[in-house]
Structure 1
Amino acid sequence: MKNIFRHKFTKVLLSASLLIAFGCQRDISELETAEYPKNPEVFMDAFSSGLNYSAFGGSDVKAFDVDTQVKYSGTTSMKFAVPDYGSPEGAYAGGSFYTSVGRDLSDYNALTFWIKATQAANIDIIGFGNDLGENKYQVSLSALPVNTNWKKVIIPIPDPSKLKMEKGMFFYSEGPENNKGYTFWVDEVKFEKLGTISYQSASILNGSNKTITSFVGVNNKIDGLTASYSMPNGATQAVNLTPYYFNFKTSNAAVASADQLGNVSTVGSGSSVITATLGSNTATGSLTINSSGSFVHAPVPTQTANNVISIFSDKYTNVPVDYYNGYWAPYQTTQSADFTVNNDHVLNYTNFNFVGIQMTSPTVNASSMSHLHMDMYLPNAVAAGSSFTIKVADFGADGVYGGTDDKTGQYTVNTASLQSQSWISLNIPITAITGLTTKAHIGQIIFEGANISNFYADNIYFYNDGSIIPATPTAAAPVPTHAAASVLSVFSDAYTNVAGTDFNPNWGQATQVSQTPIAGNNTLKYAGLNYQGTQFASPLNASSYGFIHIDYYTANSTSLKFYLISPGPVETPYTLSVPSGIGINTNGWKSVDIPLSSFSPVVLSNIIQFKVDGNGDIFFDNIYFHIQSTIPKSAKPLSKLPRKV
């Protein structure tokens, strides 16, 4: 007759998990005398001594309970309520049953239990060895099928000799089935010594023989670790294992090494084959490392971070990315073999035909960006007819692929621009991505290739070269540096301006003129420019000055000219480059020092007016004449010529 247990709940917040401790009171005489008890029982109507429960982070902490109504045997069972999709209580049901003191399970070769559910379902993962720590000897089943009938589950222990002090007794994780929750029960959980199961095989990399190109400093991980056993009913049962059950070997330690965790480090040039054994049995599958020696890193980006929206780069903070390889079936063949060299992460696309990077949470607003940058490396020779196409997809205001407002553009790099064994830095003007008419909701970047089987990618980001600026400046114009004694100022807060100037004489213009503060600095604004004049109260004599300085800012002008006018009228234009963000600028402001000789034949001693014509919205500041252009601080006087003798 089994003892009916008494349980108590103790809730403790530990990191991301909520601990719910269950204990069973026993007489002290019942305790095992061994340092590590060999108690095989986990749940047999009562929780075994020292057993605790912890709900996994993000799960429904109330998913687990003890049920006295539904059970396989005895009086109670463990009940697990899987929540519906979107439940505020948690996204799934999951947790670990563990002990504070390890147990010696080396006398047993399997964990067994009985399970049933309210419906047919597949438990995502269930097993033992999860101790909320290193989980060193974790073993699990994936997609365990269950239904409304009780059935016995057997999870083999690959190497019982390793479980001398195991703390992870049982764990599970299961999400909604078809977005709906359901309930399942587990009973009679214990470790057993069964004579009816036998080893069949073990594998690494899911049994495949994989070959990769590598470099010194690259680390790879051996995964796909499984073992298969013959069950009492004649069926084959595969279990997932951790690397600690295996012994990894390298055929050439001068090229690659493999540690106990299955981490493979490339240390030299040449070839090496990594294999493994499970106990005395050789596992199927291998990893061949073909090392090319030292890795040449992509150029370090030079754009300032506040001008960048990064998709993939160690230089910047990347935006949220859904994936760097969508594995779009059924036509995509591209695989990923990404690697890291000295903390430099590199995307590695193999068997390449096309591949997509997706950003939907949220989409990327590249409205203020001018270019798309990408560094790519072709490890193989460039074949005739090779090409590389980059497609950028904007999902539109709804932010969803396939809507009526989607726009996709493309840019193709032809054979002549491709080269092997060297990084290629692509700086693509977004305006050159044909067909991309909007860029406020970018959701995908797609790569397509012809006669290119493999390439590396790094530093994928949008950036602004300064040509894309806000409609209105957010910072004041640069502070002038010329000495006041050498200046004749028309409009500037930094100097005393000539008196009586009319900045908006009625010349029949359409331009709207105003003076507005920008970051506390008075600024002259021309909105909707066609032409605009400035009239002086009395003529200005600028004949003793060499330059006129102008700070201007425009995000949308495509034509802008500045004139000096003397009586006659005699006027000469000087063309200003627009928009002002192109080239050297400060926060979108462009500073120019125009030689007064550029305005010949205007009479510099008798300047009566300024005029501006063009289009767009223009902001002006610091308009003044000065004696000479600013000398750079780094400028040095010319050295004296040697004297003749």
Structure 2
Amino acid sequence: MKKFTFLFMLLTLSLGYSQAPTDNATDPPARNAGDVISIFSGEYTDVAGSNFNPNWGQSGFGVANPSFDPGTGNLVLAYPNFNYQGVQFGSAQNISGMEFLHVDIWVNGTFNPNVFVISSGAEIANPITNTGAESWISVDIPVSGITGDTNSAIQFKFDNGNGTTDGIYVDNLYFWKSPVDPLTDATLSDLQIDGTTIMGFGASTTNYTYEVASGTTVVPEITTATTSNSNATAVITQAMGIPGTATVVVTAEDGTTTETYTVSIVATGPSAAAPTPPNRTPQNVISIFSDAYTDIAVDTYDTPWCPGTTSEIMIGGDAIKQISGLGCEGIEFVTGRFDASGFDFFHMDIFTESDTMDKSFNIKFSDWQGGTGEVGALEYSATNANILPATNPGTWISIDLPLSAFNVINGVDGSDLVQFVITSDLGTVYYDNLYLHNNNLSTNEFAAADFKVYPNPTQNNWNIESNTTITSISVYDILGKRVSTLSPNTNDVEISTENMQSGIYFARIEGNNGSKTVKLIKE
């Protein structure tokens, strides 16, 4: 519970908090710092920077009070008008070494709330049995099975209220484990590769994979292996190459208990940069991330409200973004918010080593309509069509979708785009050349690349002629699904419509002197 140290205070029980607690939950026991990860509790050191009332559209957002005093001087979290509520951790937490989640909750009503620990894995509801309205309920939920990924917990979520009369009050939100005998403690408190703590580190996690970009020749080294007990010893054996394995053998103070931490170093990701986009005049492109164009002002490529982690790497002198732990990742550009009117296509190059068969890759532009939060969105999801080829691991995939294929949420017009969000189950993804364009390329690029398409509309096949060699043609339907791919390497190409229904299609034509997207119609 949070300690309120002022001698005088204003009681808030009469300000919209009827049927609120007038006492506190039981004080948590004393614990060693290494045995607890506290999010909200005055008894321990809390994770810094947490947001106890993020705006997720919940009914009680405007009346929530993260500093509610029940009249005792000890502060709790108050959530009246409760339907659901979240807590955003100040940073991702590895809870794999913890045994339990502790929650003290006071429920105004007879409903049974659920608590979720949100990470990059699946959301799992953990019900809290209401043992009696208007009394503090103390629960300890086993960490095992509490969430889909215990290495990167980022949020709590509570739900199951009616959004009007229901309310909850919460205190002592923390993860904990039983203390370890120092004499037999053979764990590490920190493990660093090249001066940085390895991603997902936890004292009880002994096997790690450390990824480096393909083509890396300098072998990463373990630079720090700090034992939890200073009287324990650690022996480091470095990897000899890439791929390779580094180990740390920890011997406890008793001289017999040992633990081995293993780091597998692997080369992942693209060995070459993404395809270079064509030349475009500035008025014909809005670039969010690309070395080929001038990018808008971006506030962050790694939003804290998604569990994915984005970093930047260099491949062949080209900057590439890498998303690890992808379930969700966001880009926010409040500073560079833009109007997408007049732009016809969305482009993005992605690379994944996962088989894309039966995998999702959904994208969304958040439209704020001049305000401070989302009003609607332009969204492309698996319900439209799979944005990725059926199988294509280990190669760059160029996505070029007409904006008309996006679902319009809440009738927005795309005039104030502020965020871009990816949701996917691919795990690790690399991306480059994220931009909108209207397909009007620079005059110089197509001066020597004239494409002619006929008949168009057609009831049979389309013919394409060019004064330059056509190297590839990709045909997409109106939903952005690729329906045909050709690699002709000739000046004259025929596209069969035998397996196509009547409708509108888009052909991406690549030639020696440029590329072009043309609209095709089958009657």
Please say whether Structure 1 and Structure 2 have the same fold, judged by a TM-score greater than 0.5: no
TM-score range, shorter chain: 0.3 to 0.5
Based on CA coordinates, which of the two structures has the bigger radius of gyration?
1
Structure with more contact order per residue of length (Cα contacts < 8 Å, sep ≥ 6)? 2
